[in-house]
Amino acid sequence: MIPSRAGCRLVLAGLVLATAGPAAGQPAASQARARSLLAEGMSLLQAQRIEQARDRFEQTLRLDPTLADAHYMLGWLRERDGDLEAAAASYLEALRYAPEMAEARDRLGFVRGQQGRTQDAIAEFEKATLAKPGLFDAWYHLGATRWWTGDAAAALPALRQAVKLKPDHAEARYYLGLALEHEGDLVAAMASLRRAVKLAPTLAVAHLRLGVTLHEMGDAEGAVAELRKAVALDPDLADARNSLGLALVKKGEADEAVATFQALVKSQPDNRVARHNLGSALLQKGDLEAAVAVYRELAALDPPSAEAFYNLGMALKQRDDFAGAEEALRKAVALDPALPEAHYTLGVVLWQTGRAEEAAQAFQTAIARQPADAAARYMLGTVLKQQGRLEEALAQFREAIVRLDSAEPHLGIGQILQQRGDREGAAAAFAEAERLNQKKADVQAAAFAASAGRSKLASGDVPGAIASFRVAVRLAPEDAQAHYQLGLALRRTGALGEARRELAAARRLAPYLQDPEGR
């Protein structure tokens, strides 16, 4: 796939550069008349008098077939008409008489891309960049085409050069952001995408990708704001509506997430991803009956889908229908034995229904599929501890605490060490469990205080909001949003020095948080 044809209309001015002197045996008068017709054609084209311009270019080539610029302009018109074969032939003729004509190389590459000849397109774009290193279109097309072929690493240098040549080109910034995101540099991707939406506020896909990047970075609020813009700009952009629903789920706004996914499913009944996500939103909302209905329908629509049966099993488990959950989860692992989540959840159901040995086997399978699964290791340790297999249980708990910042494995370790008579070791494990429980409670209390602060701020109670945000910062010093909201609230009161410190703290913790007055 090739990016937009925006470069097509930028290349007309100053094009009469590629043709060498008069061809051998060509009368000077004929040469002069041909050049005059070429200039006349370009003027007509600038005036949007397309057919008259075409006539002048054809007359030019009848007088002088060696004029590369005329072949190029005729190719441009043929490309505009959708006649790709004829356009390619014209660009090749232009290159026959002017092999270093980078613009013709670039347009030929574009046409080859439209024809599905992607590697030929890339080769032409590369030649164009070598022939004319300052040609933005060639770098942009090269980078975007490499992105579409899945080679983000190779796309990056070309897109960086394109942005260097045209810093204010929104689409180049957009593609650069995509490539940076793919390569894992989320902070740089966010910066590039922010620039893209600032340059082109109506570019819906740029708002979409910025929203997705913010979501990945943990900024659910910022993600929702950008994704709302994407949906408003292009209501038919299914990815934006789906991503908005996911961001709303993450933000805890289950009702709106459910409504978003329901609208998407209504408009696109075959969108199974949206159906899966609708079920997840219903689970978060606590509407278990509706979630089960969605997943049953999905399993019926797509019988080979292990994910559909896994999600159905999860919903039935939450509804305490353990028999139904077990049946669905066994179907999921039969369809996809490599799905570790299904083995883990099946193990939990088996454990909850008193089948410890079968549960242990399910947890062991989950760990074999995904050795870093700390939850499965904790549950396996719990089963082994109940069975009196204390050494094995202790080993699983110790593996779990490496990957799971939770009190439960430490409690398990403390209980085993206490049974062994290791009072010092048990006390240390219990102390760590208590610390983690307190940390969890503080984080929850901080989230409540921050939510209260936002509500007070919205109602105009700035002092009350500041007090709530201060509580959130004290309880959770690593909560970037708490620092950020406190900084914004302090700024309203004129406490600019403290506001700057809080906003700086927020940026250190979460670089995606931008000072709205500094954007």
Q: Can you give the pLDDT at residue 26?
A: 62
Phi, psi of 273 (to 5 degrees): -60, -45
Q: Can you give the pLDDT at residue 279?
A: 94
Q: Can you give the pLDDT at residue 30?
A: 84
Contact, 308 vs 330, CB < 8 A? no
Q: What is the CATH number for 34?
A: 1.25.40.10
Residue at 218 is within a domain: no
Q: Can you give the pLDDT at residue 454?
A: 87
Q: Can you give the pLDDT at residue 435?
A: 95
Residue at 242 is within a domain: no
Domain boundary among 130, 149, 168: 149
pLDDT digits (tens, 9 = 90+) for 152-183: 999 999 999 999 999 999 999 999 999 999 99
> Token digits for 132?
């004319």
Domain boundary among 132, 149, 166: 149
Residue at 473 is within a domain: yes
Q: Can you give the pLDDT at residue 3?
A: 52
Sequence letter at residue 5? R
Q: Can you give the pLDDT at residue 265?
A: 94
How many independent structural domains does the chain possess?
2
pLDDT digits (tens, 9 = 90+) for 293-338: 999 999 998 899 999 999 999 999 999 999 999 999 999 999 999 9
Domain boundary among 98, 127, 149: 149
Separation between Cα atoms, residue 256 and residue 236, nearest integer Å: 18
- Expressed in angstroms, the distance from the first to the final Cα of the chain is 33
- Residue by residue, pLDDT tens for the chain (519 residues) are 445 444 444 344 344 444 444 555 567 788 899 999 999 999 999 999 999 999 999 999 999 999 999 999 999 999 999 999 999 999 999 999 999 999 999 999 999 999 999 999 999 999 999 999 999 999 999 999 999 999 999 999 999 999 999 999 999 999 999 999 999 898 899 999 999 999 999 999 999 999 999 998 888 888 999 999 999 999 999 999 999 999 999 888 999 999 999 999 999 998 999 999 999 999 989 999 999 999 999 999 889 999 999 999 999 999 999 999 999 999 999 999 999 999 999 999 999 999 999 999 999 999 999 999 999 999 999 999 999 999 999 999 999 999 888 999 999 999 999 999 999 999 999 999 999 999 999 999 998 999 899 899 889 999 999 999 999 999 999 999 899 999 999 999 999 999 999 999 998 998 877 776 654
Residue with tokens 């075409």: 54
Q: What is the pTM of this model?
A: 0.79
Residue at 260 is within a domain: no
Sequence letter at residue 63? L
Residue at 437 is within a domain: yes
Residue at 424 is within a domain: yes
Residues whose CB is less than 8 angstroms from the CB of residue 480 and which lie 6 or more positions away in sequence, other chains included: 505, 506, 509, 510, 513
> Containing domain of residue 461, as a range?
413-509
Residue at 490 is within a domain: yes
Identify which of 255, 314, 308, 301 has the alpha carbon closest to the alpha carbon of residue 282: 255
Query: Exposed/middle/buried for 156, CB within 10 Å: 0-12, 13-18, 19+?
Result: buried
Phi, psi of 388 (to 5 degrees): 85, 10
Separation between Cα atoms, residue 29 and residue 24, nearest integer Å: 13
* 3-class DSSP state of 179: helix
Own/partner contacts of 435-438, CB < 8 Å, gap of 24 or more, are: 436/405, 436/406, 436/407, 436/410, 437/407
Residue at 97 is within a domain: yes
Contact, 100 vs 131, CB < 8 A? yes
